[in-house]
Structure 1
Amino acid sequence: MNTLSAETIRRLMRQNRKTIRGIAQEWNLTMKRVRQVRTQGVSGEHYVMDWLEILTGDPRYVACDATAPPRRPGHRALWRLGHGEEETVAD
């Protein structure tokens, strides 16, 4: 994956309860940079992996909305490279 859209980044921040200030402090980034990524997204394989690690704690996490199966209410699907299967976790 070479890009993360701004919408996906905001969704992952909400899902993983990450704040702009929290990310900036934990990863030694400026709040301005975190806001920029929230509005513009990121491009480039290494930037995407870095931001996936920042947002989820796992750089292998792949957020793919287009290929995800229909979601059941109260459940979320986590897609990981190398597993080939969906991992469903109750909210």
Structure 2
Amino acid sequence: MNALTRQRLDDMPPAQQAGILCNDPRFQHFAATRCGLSGQQFSASAAAQYLRDICQIDSRRTLNICARANTRFAVLRTEFDAWAGKIASPR
């Protein structure tokens, strides 16, 4: 892969996806909102802690090896994508 080719997020390992997501300001806002802090935004480290709590893991690397954690992460990503308007919200 050369410098001009970007890898799709969905093609990356889950732990790498999680790292990128936690650095996304939209996800930081989503995580804060989900924690009852509407109108606020978490830092990347607070967003990472939120993700670890939701996925019930100690390290994002666990997403690469634990099917249950990876399923929880997939649900979280879907909820974030719906919240962000990337996909339609379920009715």
What TM-score, normalized to structure 2?
0.32
Higher strand share: 1
Higher helix share: 2
What TM-score, normalized to structure 1?
0.32
